Structure 1
Amino acid sequence: MDIQSDTLAEDELATITGCLIHSGQIGWLNRNGWKYVLTRARRPVVGRVYARMKLAGVKPSAENVAAEVWSLDLSKIG
């Protein structure tokens, strides 16, 4: 099972934006109202949960973006 990063991989961002060049990706993100941060190399970084919500048509906000809650269940051990 592959563990996904909390941010989109370069190929995922290229697929969404249709651009391989970072400046083109930044332009697409700006035109479409996406939030992102830039690395020191000016590569745009987009959060995975944020991207999933945007692609699903949900407007991300502090209320609807939450970490998955889990608890340790030891009831079946023994």
Structure 2
Amino acid sequence: MGISRLTALIIQTNEVGVDTFKERDNNYGFEIGRMEHDNYRPCLTSQPVYPNEIAAREAGEKLVEDVRALDLTV
């Protein structure tokens, strides 16, 4: 999955959470989001390609971990 540098920077510099969702075909996806004041702001939504909720959540959490480990300096 490729993400923009701006999305990576938002994930690195804000407290974000991972949530999961289920599509009609019974596959799961994840969404990474953050709260801005009292409003929820989604940062990234995956395709629903995971067989269960646990796999989707683990993939989302791993992506957050990987993005936070990136060096985004130019």
Q: What TM-score results when the alignment is normalised by the length of structure 2?
A: 0.28
Please report the TM-score for the alignment, with normalisation by the length of structure 1. 0.27
Larger CA Rg, structure 1 vs 2: 1
Larger relative contact order (Cα-Cα within 8 Å, sequence gap ≥ 6): 2
